[in-house]
Amino acid sequence: MENLQWRFLPMLTLLASSLFLLFFKDPSKSSHSECSLLPYNHFWITSKRIVTPQGVISAAVEIKGGNIVSIVKEEDWHRNSKTGQVIDYGDAVIMPGLIDVHAHLDDPGRAEWEGFPSGTKAAAAGGITTLIDMPLNSDPSTTSTETLKLKLEAAEKRIYVDVGFWGGLVPENAFNESALEALLNAGALGLKSFMCPSGINDFPMTDASHIKEGLAVLARYKRPLLVHAEIQQDSGRHVELEDDTLDSRLYSNYLKTRPPSWEQAAISELLTVAKDTRIGGPAEGAHLHIVHLSDASSSLDLIKEAKSNGCSITVETCPHYLAFSAEEIKDGDTRFKCAPPIRDSANKEKLWEALMGGHIDMLSSDHSPTVPELKLLDEGNFLKAWGGISSLQFVLPVTWSYGRKYGVTLEQLASWWSERPAKLAGQASKGAIAVGNHADIVAWDPDTEFDLNDDHPIYIKHPSISAYLGSRLSGKVLATFVRGNLVYKEGNHAPAACGSPILAK
């Protein structure tokens, strides 16, 4: 009997150790089952429509340890010879997860406007797998290593998708080379500046001299400078916001306060320093990126000219400029206020023409939320309401729904929303369904229609301020994978927020 007890002692010890690890493991380390709605980390995704850099194919994508390890075309697919679980999406589209390079999550300091948990849950529900957070609207703005550290602390264990960070270029740091280098060394993916008042006190506007200095530093890091390109012009056509004689409920009056000449003037001034980014120029290696282009006339012509002259320059626009036009916006509906403003229908058509023709490089949300009180929804005052379109969760179905009229292809969607944004943000392992890349994937049904109303599951913090509420859209997101973790599936999020902060190296 004694020998028998000794024989079982090692087994009892092993069992006790296992129980100890089960009940007393470090709670700060999330298990795979908490990070993903799938119980396994080696599996296959199959579909008849998988968007790859080589085109749309019927295939199977093998995912293991968070990465794409193989892609097998349908004709070579022998299910019985493969190991791992299989998720068959049939005719649904499998596309690289969207990368939104222009989002304001307002965390820390103004998390009541949005915040990392709500914003990244909304992103996951919309098929976005990577967000690059703007340096302003949080409090304080991200203009130093200390404020970037605050961002990282606020994001820790609170993000459901991967999140990177732009730093801010402001007059305070523009001529301080060591301060800019420290911010970039700390991991900022690039810098962002405003050429007009930003509306945020600790993020003042820059001019061409500041931008020239910023580009000189960025050249050594081969990172971009993103610019809000508007300069206030004193002209007979310009109307001051403070003009008390204006009817503040008329959208047409708000439109007059920010004419296209503001964008044209800013871009014209930018191009005087953009030439430094040409091959052989003093800022070769830096890159200039113009955010949320609204004017599709002279401003766009200037950008085309700069590209043809060899400047390293790209430009984005946003779904709200492609979906809406000034003629449709009802007086007092301040949900539609943004800067630059949504212009007329003829301008919208020109934006689509430029996007389809390759002259506009990519899309971003410019998700700029706030609390409903600052939108002045009841008052309807366009001149005083907070400007910004709340859109994060909806950009994929919005782009698809409005783009079908223009013949948008799945490959174009992947280029505008994944491939080119990944390149801008310096993310070589993201942006495409390719072997070796992170398994950042969205599965969606382009043919399913839905009404964006109070019954639709919405994860942005304040749905009532979104200009898209009330729309009927096509393109339902079925599932979102971030580094192989199934973080969202038809209304459900993974239990734990296991997104990774992205820092430049």
Residue 194 CA, chain-centre distance (Å), reads 18
Confidence of residue 80 (pLDDT cuts 50, 70, 90): low
pLDDT(24) > 80 = no
* 82/150: higher pLDDT: 150
Q: Which two tokens stand for residue 186?
A: 């700390």
pLDDT digits (tens, 9 = 90+) for 272-305: 999 999 999 999 999 999 999 999 999 999 999 9
pLDDT digits (tens, 9 = 90+) for 362-402: 999 999 999 999 999 999 999 999 999 999 999 999 999 99
Query: Any residues with CB less than 8 A from the CB of 243 and at least 6 apart, and which?
Result: none
Residue 235: its pLDDT value, please? 52
Radius of gyration of the chain (CA): 24
Cα–Cα nearest to 374, from 247, 464, 255: 464
Residue 109: its pLDDT value, please? 98
**What phi and psi, each to the nearest 5 degrees, are found at residue 61?**
-110, 125
pLDDT(30) > 50 = yes
Residue 26: its pLDDT value, please? 41
Dihedral sign from CA coordinates of 372, 378, 382, 383: negative
Q: Which two tokens stand for residue 181?
A: 């280098």
Residue 28: its pLDDT value, please? 38
Percent of the chain's residues with pLDDT above 90: 88
Least confident stretch, 6-10, 40-44, 115-119:
6-10
pLDDT digits (tens, 9 = 90+) for 187-246: 999 999 999 999 999 999 999 999 999 999 999 999 999 999 999 987 544 555 555 678
Cα–Cα nearest to 325, from 302, 312, 344: 344
Dihedral sign from CA coordinates of 456, 462, 465, 467: negative
Average pLDDT, the chain: 92
pTM of this prediction? 0.93
Confidence of residue 21 (pLDDT cuts 50, 70, 90): very low
Cα–Cα nearest to 292, from 328, 343, 241: 343
pLDDT digits (tens, 9 = 90+) for 339-371: 999 999 999 999 999 999 999 999 999 999 999
Q: How many CB atoms lie within 10 A of CB 244?
A: 7
Confidence of residue 13 (pLDDT cuts 50, 70, 90): very low
CB 391 within 8 A of CB 467: yes
Residue 421: its pLDDT value, please? 98
* Measured distance CA(443)–CA(447) in Å, rounded: 13
Planar angle of CA 167, 482, 442, nearest 5 degrees: 110
pLDDT(424) > 70 = yes
pLDDT(23) > 60 = no
pLDDT(307) > 90 = yes
Q: Which two tokens stand for residue 493?
A: 């999020």
Q: Which two tokens stand for residue 471?
A: 């729309």
Residue 81: its pLDDT value, please? 59
CB 63 within 8 A of CB 43: yes
Residue 422: its pLDDT value, please? 98
Mean pLDDT in residue range 412-436: 98
pLDDT(269) > 80 = yes
* Measured distance CA(340)–CA(337) in Å, rounded: 9
* Measured distance CA(134)–CA(176) in Å, rounded: 21
Largest CA distance in the chain: 104
Q: Which of 229-233, 245-249, 479-483 has the highest mean pLDDT?
A: 479-483
* Measured distance CA(156)–CA(496) in Å, rounded: 12
* Measured distance CA(262)–CA(267) in Å, rounded: 9
pLDDT(9) > 80 = no
pLDDT(78) > 90 = no
pLDDT(6) > 70 = no
